[in-house]
Amino acid sequence: MSFSEAEAQVRSLAGFLTESGVKRGDRVAIHLQNRVEVAIALFAVAETGASYVVLNSRLKPRGLEKILCQAEPAAIIFDDSTAPNLVGVGGIPTRIKVGEGAEENTTPWSEAISHPHLEGGWKGCDLDPACLVFTSGSTGTPRGVTLSHDNICYVVGAIQERLNYRAGDTIGCFLPLAFDYGLYQIFLAVQSGAKLYIGDPEQVGPRLPQIMKKAGITVLPGVPSLYAALIALGRRRPLDLPDLRAITNTGERLPPSYIEELQGMFPDLDVFVMYGLTECKRVSIMTPDELLNHPESVGRALSGTEVYAVNASGERLGPGEVGELVVRGRHVAHGYWRAPEETAKRFRKRAPEAAVELFTGDSGSVDGEGYLYFSARTDDLLKHRGNRISPVEIENEACTIEGIVEASLLKRDVDDTLHLFVTTSLPLEQDVVLRQLSEILEPAKVPEFVVLMKDMPKSMNGKIDRKELLARLQG
């Protein structure tokens, strides 16, 4: 689909939604599998002045119900893959169905995008909420990060300044579009004029290289598990690979061993290591040139962004000192949707006249040159026999062992033992892995047990599902 074709559908859908009663301040749920209609829908919702809520197609009915109860959408757009989730769900005045087949009290997508265009200029304001991005709350209840149009427009420009997507690029998005990392690929494609290939997360498997080659993908955003899949395939047999010029990574730390192996597979590959949170989208980006001299860093803060570490009392720490990371900038979200207590914990003002700052809950440091070093999500730090341990460090070292593809470290509280879950591309014995780890790690960091797995459980966003692993461990 061309940009002009997309724009025509956006304006027609915006006209239909407006005539259906959707207005400034409303929410519209977009519950679709990865497909081009997600992009059309979210821009159309923005045109009306309402906020879009992109929901993962793999949500279960119970999870979907929790989000819909909070968002109270005035309309919902769905397809055959998500229709079963809406059985028995009421209170949504406007329903639009993408795909074949009629639904009761539902408008077909083809009809909605054939409506006369929305007339007049945009009635909204840059500071209005543009979207809610739902994440897992600390209480187990989903919470919606509220992002304004200004938040999004500012950070897309700042990201593009570092990544430099090109009009001739084809971006391969195999991430769920409900995941903010996947969602922003739409914005970056529009910003740069690049082509966006919207893939299916289920395609991250044996056929992935073939799909990438056929689509002519030049830029690949991904989480470590996606790159682990490519590496594992490459170890098994020679691959016919696309002319990939750049990859980006966030969500979890990309082990240095992955970077080295990927650069061996793709000559002249640029690797952009990034750090961010849904609450502000992106914090820092490491350019390929900087990565050579600062391999342990996750880059410098985006333009117009300040990042620093604080101690437990909230006092700013000096260069290199580890503490909680705090972010200040135009991309810091408005807070959590209808969750004032959680908002107050993370989004704080040091003075009434000061800007809101995001207290990330992550530990790290910033050196004298402005390079950011991520230690761990505070919730992920482990205390093992009197020592504070970062799982990331041990997982990265495990991935340097020949044959190990993915690694995840967890602690079993009942006996204070560390368990390293790994997937492998070669036959390995547990005692061999432990022996090699003992040669490169301090004794307190060597896990007591190694668990060999065929596949790692994955979350809806493609990350390693640590909750599932912990449930297996505790069981």
Domains of the chain and CATH, by start: 3-124 (3.40.50.980), 150-305+325-339 (3.40.50.12780), 381-474 (3.30.300.30)
Query: What mean pLDDT comes out for the span 75-83?
Result: 96
C-alpha dihedral sign at 276, 281, 283, 289: positive
**Inter-residue long-range contacts of 105-110, CB under 8 Å, 24+ positions, other chains counted:** 107/16, 109/37, 109/77
In this structure, are strands 417-424 and 300-301 parallel, antiparallel, or unpaired?
unpaired
Q: How far apart are CA 371 and CA 298, in angstroms?
A: 7
H helices of 72-207, in order, are 109-112, 149-163, 180-192
* Lookup: tokens for 202: 């289920």
* Lookup: tokens for 450: 């190694």
Q: How far apart are CA 202 and CA 78, in angstroms?
A: 19
Structure confidence by residue, pLDDT tens digits, 191-244:
999 999 999 988 988 899 999 999 999 999 998 888 988 988 888 878 888 899
Question: Looking at residue 138, what is its pLDDT?
Answer: 47
Q: DSSP class of residue 385?
A: T
C-alpha closest to that of 255 among 408, 421, 444: 408
Note whether 321 and 309 are within 8 A (CB): yes
Query: What mean pLDDT comes out for the span 127-147?
Result: 83
The percent of residues above 90 in pLDDT, for the chain, comes to 66
Residue 247: pLDDT over 80: yes
Note whether 124 and 24 are within 8 A (CB): yes
Phi, psi of 307 (to 5 degrees): -130, 135
Structure confidence by residue, pLDDT tens digits, 107-126:
999 999 999 999 888 878 99
Structure confidence by residue, pLDDT tens digits, 278-314:
999 999 999 999 998 999 999 999 999 999 999 999 9
Question: Looking at residue 388, what is its pLDDT?
Answer: 64
C-alpha closest to that of 232 among 402, 466, 408: 402
Query: What mean pLDDT comes out for the span 326-341?
Result: 96
Question: Looking at residue 60, what is its pLDDT?
Answer: 83
Question: Looking at residue 352, what is its pLDDT?
Answer: 85
